[in-house]
Structure 1
Amino acid sequence: MAKRQNISKAIVVGKALAAATLKRRAQAIEKRRRVLAKAKLKVEPTKRVLAKAPVTHASMGVLIAEGDSWFDYPFHDILSDLEDSYGFDVESAAHRGDTVEDMAYSDGQLDDFSRRVEKVLRMGVEPRAILLSGGGNDVAGDEFAILLNYATSSYPGLNDSIVTGVIDQRLREAYVTILSAITAICKHHLGHPVPIVVHGYDYPVPDGRGFAGGWGPLPGPWLEPGFRRKGYSEINRRKQICVELIDRFDTMLAGLAGKPPFGHVRFLNLRGTLSTGSTYKTWWANELHPTQKGFDAVTKKFAAIL
């Protein structure tokens, strides 16, 4: 009963945040309209900028994305691969390092998302789908160690009550909130919901590798320090705990997708896509992010569900 009440409250919060966002965006749209009405615009035919790069307007559809570093990673990520390898056009409001709570409760995030929807509609195109990525930054990094009991304690491994509080309460409510807000914004602009794809993560290898080695100011590692602090030195035990954590997160997220009021939401299961065996470094660039080969494999599954 308490869980249903929390979900109902999160839906109400999401709709309220969407309403506040749409009010701000209506003011911005009116400001833009006045500026364009006063401007003396001369419409010219589109010119080909590069003779050796013919322009094509063919597309598999327009996607709007909100998310974290799996959507916004240097040199290669899921969104760039969807454009370059699968022919989609992507409007992205994703920012590496963002948490699901940032996306759900920060006014600026929802404003940016709504702006992307408006931009697509001005082109006379309806989005084919919304892509939503998030959750890794809510549990990795400085916060990770709190999820663990000490290895020498009476109950080693994940602290079930804390994991329940973080994943099954905080993250679940944040996801319900942002899904409700995104749905309300799309309904306002289009009169109906747009399909939303959410995804889990694959099982990481907590070996202490950060971005480009994680030296100095570079990000990472995100998992190994917490394991080391709580006394877990054996890599296979660390990997086992990560499997349990990812399974908990995916179970939570899969439990929302396709269920009222989120019948338009699809869950993409990415577990088992990237190897954690002896060749894992060809799949994982560091503790949290795939290599180009890994991103290619993940994007293939996105393209299939789309």
Structure 2
Amino acid sequence: MATIQEIKIDLEEKSMRSLLDARTSKDSKIVAEGDSWFSYPVVKDVIDHLRQMGYAIKRHSKPGDTLENMVFGTDYAIATQVQRANNYGPVSLRETLRSVRNLKPKFVLFSAGGNDVVGSELVQYLNHKRSGLPLFREAFFRDSVNGYIRSAIVSFLEQVWQVDPEIHILMHGYDYAIPNGTQYELAGIRFSGPWVLPAFARKAITARSEQNKIIRQLVDIYNELLISLGHVYPNFHHIDLRGRFPNEAQWHNEIHLRKEGFEQVAKLYHQKMVEILLYNPVV
């Protein structure tokens, strides 16, 4: 029986052959950039399921990647001898744009923003329980979302459309994370996480009801941004996942779905692409 890694490699190889095949329809070609929802080593993720449906996909997504790195670039080197720092620039964005230019896909799929908020970043949006202040620093978070995060997403969209003004860009806004302290493990070895519960614990926000309320506010505000972008840009399409995975059993850990959940997300992307094209490109 094939392992999950063997399945992923097989899907990758088939997808790459399809991308290079002149007979492959442009409408079934996709370039994907994103985080672990599009590149999750433990189970079949969204991109794996779309490939299995028949889409030819060039994947640039990486686990743990941030929106800031995807668009602006955060990799750097420090030359201690000359006491100088060097930022390598938007390496990931350049690679994505090169794929768009060379492969001429109909769609670009984008999964980003989660890692810019959860983990160590989450603490800054919380007030300590014993401070007597509102637990969620809502105004500060809204300013971040409608300022820096919005500018990064818009920069990504506009640079893709400079290469191909007709391309359609699809992006989801995640579902409500589960603050239960579970983490990313493989063969019993912890690799990363938890990403949510430690921030709440640090601020003494220990009641699950309070944690869930804050998570809903975080996710709702982020999705509001994506919905607003859809009103501004006709070729930008928001995939709303809120409330689709309410049970902890549907989650592999705090912020990642199980394979069945990722399959549902892939089907929603597929439905949206069929809706845009007015036909099914991977029958």
What's the TM-score bracket when you normalise by the shorter of the two chains? Answer: 0.7 to 0.9
Does 1:154 pair with 2:132? yes
Q: Identify the residue that residue 80 of structure 1 maps to in structure 2.
A: 48
Q: Is the 8 A contact 1:184 1:193 kept in 2?
A: no
From the superposition, tell whether residues 230 and 213 of structure 1 become closer, same or farther in structure 2 (CA, over 3 Å): farther
How far is 1:246 from its partner? Answer: 0.3
User: Does the CA contact (< 8 Å) of 2:34 and 2:112 recur in 1?
Assistant: yes
Coordinate RMSD, CA, aligned:
2.1
The 5 A counterparts of 1:1-306 are 61-74=28-41, 75-84=43-52, 86-106=53-73, 107-120=90-103, 126-186=104-164, 192-212=165-185, 218-259=191-232, 262-276=233-247, 280-281=248-249, 283-306=250-273
- Contact kept, 8 Å, 2:185 with 2:191, in 1: the verdict is yes
Return the index of the structure with the highest Cα Rg: 1
For residues 76 and 214 of structure 1, do their structure 2 counterparts lie closer, same or farther at Cα, with a shift above 3 Å needed?
same
Shift of 1:58: 6.5
> In terms of mean alpha carbon deviation, does 211-220 or 290-299 score higher?
211-220
CA contact (8 A) 1:197 1:265 kept: yes
Once the two structures are TM-superposed, the CA of residue 298 in structure 1 deviates from its matched residue by 1.4
Displacement after TM superposition at 1:258 (Å) = 3.4
Corresponding residue number in structure 1 for 2:80: none
Change in CA separation of 1:214 and 1:180 when aligned onto 2, cut-off 3 Å: farther
Which runs of 4 or more aligned residues in structure 1 lie more than 6 Å from their structure 2 counterparts after TM superposition? 55-60, 213-216
Quote the offset at 1:164 in angstroms: 2.0
The one-letter code matched in structure 2 to 1:147 is Y
Shift of 1:183: 1.2
**2:69 corresponds to which letter in structure 1?**
D
* Secondary structure of the corresponding residue to residue 218 of structure 1: strand
Residues 182-229 of structure 1, C-alpha deviations (whole Å, 9 max, x = no match): 11122xxxxx33011111010111100110289876110001000000
**Identical pairs, percent:** 30
Instruction: Tell me if the contact between 1:273 and 1:298 (Cα under 8 Å) persists in the aligned partners.
Output: no
* Amino acid in structure 1 at the alignment position of 2:224: T
Q: Output the CA distance in 2 between the equivalents of 1:214 and 1:156.
A: 41
Matched residue pairs, number? 235
Unaligned runs of 5+ in 1: 1-54, 121-125, 187-191
Taking a change above 3 Å as real, the CA distance of residues 183 and 58 of structure 1, as seen in their structure-2 partners, is closer
Q: CA deviation at 1:155?
A: 2.5
Question: SS state of the match for residue 212, structure 1?
Answer: strand
Change (3 A) 1:214 1:263: farther
SS state of the match for residue 248, structure 1? helix
